[in-house]
A and B are shown apart, each in its own frame.
Chain A
Amino acid sequence: MSDDAGFYYDGSEVHSGLTGRLSRAVNDHIRLFLLGPALLSLLVVFVYPVGVLLWSSLRETRGLTNEFAPTANFARMFSDPSFWNAVERTLVYSFGSLTVTMVAGLGFALALNKVVNRRVRDAYTTLILLSWAVPLSIVGLTWQWMFNGQLGVVNRILVDLGLLSEPVSWLGNSLTAMAVVILADAWSRIPFATIVLLAGLQSIPQEMYDAVRVDGATTFQRFRHLVLPYLRPSLFVAGLITWMFAFRAFAIPFSTTGGGPAGATETLAIYIHRFGVQLFDFGFASAVSLFLVVVTLVVAAFYVTRVLEGIREIE
């Protein structure tokens, strides 16, 4: 059967011979045939590693020991202040990025929505999308380079404008380093939030605006009582996904500061990577991973319920 044979076969031609029997078998088990490869792949590339993760978390692997000790890693994790510090930093990081991303994303989307000319709006959208497409390690390296204490362009501009009398070592101070990392993270996530929120804004029917205008609502009232309710699902999706991805972020903080100075920007992901990949302490890294997985999945459950509710609406 050639590709462009189209669908003009009559039944008898399809159902004769070996290929015919094969195609009938496929036809009878269409779900298995189309879904099988995907589920089989997920079994190999996802379920199997998850099994390894669960198994390793039950083994103590510090130093040269490697033995079954089901509670050792979890006990160590919950009693280790360095773990709780990493949790705290990850919360600061993810909520910091969420705030910056959503505020900027909403601002950008509201502005884009006001641009009437479609070409102009597309041009702006394209330019705003650029930072999303930048490879994640390049995002970190870019911000590291811009905020370099000695050679960075940010210091140069601020000194030239007279806002700083001398260069600041942004990445050498734990507070400013965290701020820079959050900014880099948000820089990479704002386009996604903007796109999702813009789509939400554009789903508001023009008649609704007209109706509200007839009612004599002020701009603020319009925003509060028309735009915001319509935008709530988009705000939910954009915010949840932004937070979830910031919570697990590795590449951006790792390539901006490497977790420094003195661990001040070491998120949970970098913490896991340090133990699992650099120190070969698989057991402990797996236990911390499971903590991160559980937190994420609890939050993700809200999202999944939303999606499944959406399915019910479609049916």
Chain B
Amino acid sequence: MDTRRYRRRQRVWDLLESRYVVHVVLFFAVLFIVGPLLWMLLTSLRTNAAVYDLTYLPSNPTLQAYHVALIERGFWRAVVNSVVISSVSTVVVMAIGTPAGYVFSRYRFRFDNLVFTFVLLTRLFPPIGLVTPYFRIMSVFGLVNTRVGIIIANVYLWLPLVIYIMRNFFITVPNALDEAARVDGCTKVQAFRHVVFPVVKPGFAAGTILTFLYSWREFLFAFTVSNDLSSMTIPVATYLFVGDTSVQWASMAAAAVVATIPSALVVLFFQRYIVTGLTGGGKG
């Protein structure tokens, strides 16, 4: 009796695990993730008046909403700001964070665990807690409505993360490699730059891509530091549509699509790097 019930139950599980069910689940997963993005894309291809038509597909697809958002409103400047801010932030963070990650993976020094714990805590510290201080500090130093202000905030937000990720990548490289290079006459810096670093280049790429994406999607600090076209980012500019008395939904969607396309392209081309980066470089 018991085995029969067992088998019947097992048959239900086998069905659940069958290829068809797996693909049905994944179909709905993709629908759930991509559906909202598709809807934004479809909305952006209407005119701002055609949004009220209540049809699913735009009857006369047009790029007029993009024209309103980017040219008439001048939000193309926000796109430029986003590119500049994300790129500079990424270069600065990677340049400072990579050597630091290397040290944490290799060297013992006084209070090393304490210093590393400090880095971990800065990473886990809730950024919202520093918004009020940043808001005040930025105005004291005249950094409100400047790109530099947002870049500084990005360094705070992503440097601890990069130190942590890079440390995890460096740990996977055996110490013997450094030692061999040292025996061959390398200075410690040369051993790092010419021997160990090339090995973790994929990890470095992952860190770079993650930092760029995180800087690109950031909203809280960009919004707090800047609401002026000379420095605000495209996610902030897109948000400003909602403040209008009569929201131009199609143009809002157009700006949203413009803000999302670079992220989406990075994901499409570098999916594997992002996955290794998100899973922490294999360790931790």
The reply to whether B190 and A7 contact each other, CB–CB distance below 8 Å, is: yes
B64 proximal to A (CB < 8 A): no
B13 touches A220 (CB 8 A): yes
Residue pair B128, A289 in contact (C-beta under 8 Å): yes
Within 8 A of B (CB), among A130-160: 130-138, 141-146, 148, 151, 153, 156
Contact of B43 among A34, A114, A145, A248 (CB under 8 A): A145
How many residues belonging to A are interface residues under a CB distance threshold of 8 Å? 101
Known contacts A9-B185, A134-B37; is-contact A111 B26 (Cβ 8 Å)? yes
Instruction: Confirm or deny: B278 has a beta carbon within 8 angstroms of a beta carbon on chain A.
Output: yes
- B235, A136: Cβ atoms closer than 8 Å: yes
Residues from chain A with Cβ under 8 Å of B52 in the complex: 151
Contact, CB under 8 Å: A115 / B239: no
Cβ of A205 under 8 Å from chain B: no
> Which size bracket describes the interface of B in this complex?
35 or more
Cβ contact within 8 Å between B26 and A56? no
Residue of B nearest to A1 (CB): B190
Kindly list chain A residues whose C-beta atoms are within 8 Å of the C-beta of B216. Answer: 135
Residue A124 interfacial (CB < 8 Å): yes
A92 in contact (CB, < 8 A) = no
Interface residues of A in 109-125 (CB under 8 A from B): 111-112, 114-115, 122, 124-125
Q: Are A7 and B37 in contact (CB under 8 A)?
A: no
Chain A 43-71 near chain B by CB (<8 Å), digits 1 or 0:
00110111011001000000000000000
Tell me the bound Cα distance from A276 to B239 in angstroms. Answer: 20
- B242 touching A114, Cβ below 8 Å: no
Partner of B159, one of A23, A38, A134: A38
Contacts of B121 on A, CB cut-off 8 Å? Answer: 297, 300, 304
Mark out the residues of chain A between 240 and 272 whose CB falls within 8 Å of any chain B CB in the assembled complex. Answer: 244, 247-248, 250-251, 255, 258, 268-269, 272
What is the bound-complex CA distance between A104 and B153, given in angstroms?
A: 33
- Min C-beta distance of A75 to chain B, whole Å: 19
Q: B274: which of A129, A196, A255, A286 is its contact (CB, 8 Å)? A: A129
Contact partners of B34 in chain A: CB under 8 A: 127, 130-131
The answer to whether the Cβ of A308 comes within 8 Å of any Cβ in the partner chain is yes
Interchain nearest-CB distance for A145 vs B (Å): 6
Report which B residues bind A (CB closer than 8 A): 6, 9-10, 13-14, 16-17, 19, 22, 25-26, 29-30, 32-34, 36-37, 39-40, 43, 51-52, 54, 56, 96-97, 99-100, 102-104, 107, 109, 113, 115-122, 124-137, 152-153, 155-156, 159-160, 163, 171, 181, 184-192, 194-195, 213, 216-220, 223-224, 234-236, 238-239, 241-242, 249, 252-253, 256, 259-260, 263-264, 266-268, 271-272, 274-275, 278-279, 283-284
User: Which 7 A-B residue pairs are closest in the complex by CB-CB distance?
Assistant: A276-B132, A38-B100, A219-B13, A34-B99, A133-B263, A45-B156, A251-B219
27 residue pairs bridging A and B, Cβ less than 8 Å apart: A7-B195, A27-B188, A27-B189, A31-B103, A35-B115, A38-B99, A41-B159, A42-B159, A45-B155, A53-B132, A56-B136, A107-B25, A108-B29, A126-B271, A131-B37, A133-B267, A136-B218, A136-B220, A137-B236, A137-B238, A141-B241, A191-B33, A251-B223, A273-B131, A276-B132, A285-B132, A289-B132
